[in-house]
Structure 1
């Protein structure tokens, strides 16, 4: 009886050990990290912006097409992007790194940063554009000053 119990415990232990040692899915972890960080919301904003930019260039295309495309792209674009990001993130961050980042984004400060991320990204892009314009103006002024 004891031998059977010991054998069952060993079999169960080995089975659990195998399950626990299975590698975690990097893509799923990356996707979770992008969601908890708020990056998914930032990426989602790209689809409607892209469509709005394309509409004037193709006035003959009916509105229903654009609505259908936006719906379709919202369902697939994020997963497609995650597929493209996996090798980039794998080059710099391990599975464990991603898990630690997720832990941060689950903290109160991380949640606040994550929920603010889309707004910060938009404001940062606008500030970056203004900064780039100022740099360009400075360079042009120097070029004129030097007689180029």
Structure 2
């Protein structure tokens, strides 16, 4: 009788834990989508998509989407080791606010402008490095 009771308790705890993990993962993916991470990856792969022949583009985009979804799932797992579910819920609240929506909408623009600033900085740093390499 004790074994049966223990087994039932274990099964209930395991299912409760799985449900919590599934909700956490779902919220993490929601946060990542709201924060513009998927659109950033889509922007980064746009040039690749543009180079695929039109006859093969639809199939490629389907596989790319599956690949990006796998990437997002892996990244969600990684984020879940760094943040609590309560923190992720707070992130979601922010990204659903007007300020959060604006920040998310500007993700690609900020990335492109930041990349240009970083390249300019890198070019300037190259001169400093060369000065000390002589």
- Structure 1 and Structure 2 fold alike (TM over 0.5): yes
Q: Name the CA distance, whole Å, in 2 between partners of 1:41 and 1:78.
A: 10
**Residue 46 of structure 1 aligns with which residue?**
44
**Residue 100 of structure 1 aligns with which residue?**
90
Q: Name the CA distance, whole Å, in 1 between partners of 2:47 and 2:65.
A: 16
- TM-score of the pair, normalised by structure 2: 0.73
After the TM superposition, which parts of structure 1 deviate over 4 Å for at least 4 consecutive aligned residues?
A: none
Contact 2:34 2:95 (C-alpha < 8 Å) held by counterparts: yes
Instruction: Give unmatched runs, 5+ long, in structure 1.
Output: 1-18, 56-60
Q: CA deviation at 1:142?
A: 3.2
Q: Name the CA distance, whole Å, in 2 between partners of 1:117 and 1:43.
A: 11
Larger CA Rg, structure 1 vs 2? 1
Moved more, 89-98 or 68-77: 68-77
* Aligned partner of 1:34 among 28, 32, 35: 32
RMSD of aligned Cα (Å): 2.4
Matches within 5 A, 1:1-148: 22-23=19-20, 24-52=22-50, 55=51, 62-65=53-56, 67-143=57-133, 148=134
- TM-score of the pair, normalised by structure 1: 0.67
Q: Name the CA distance, whole Å, in 2 between partners of 1:26 and 1:129.
A: 37
Q: Name the CA distance, whole Å, in 2 between partners of 1:118 and 1:27.
A: 24
Contact 1:39 1:118 (C-alpha < 8 Å) held by counterparts: no
* Change beyond 3 A, Cα 1:138–1:97: same
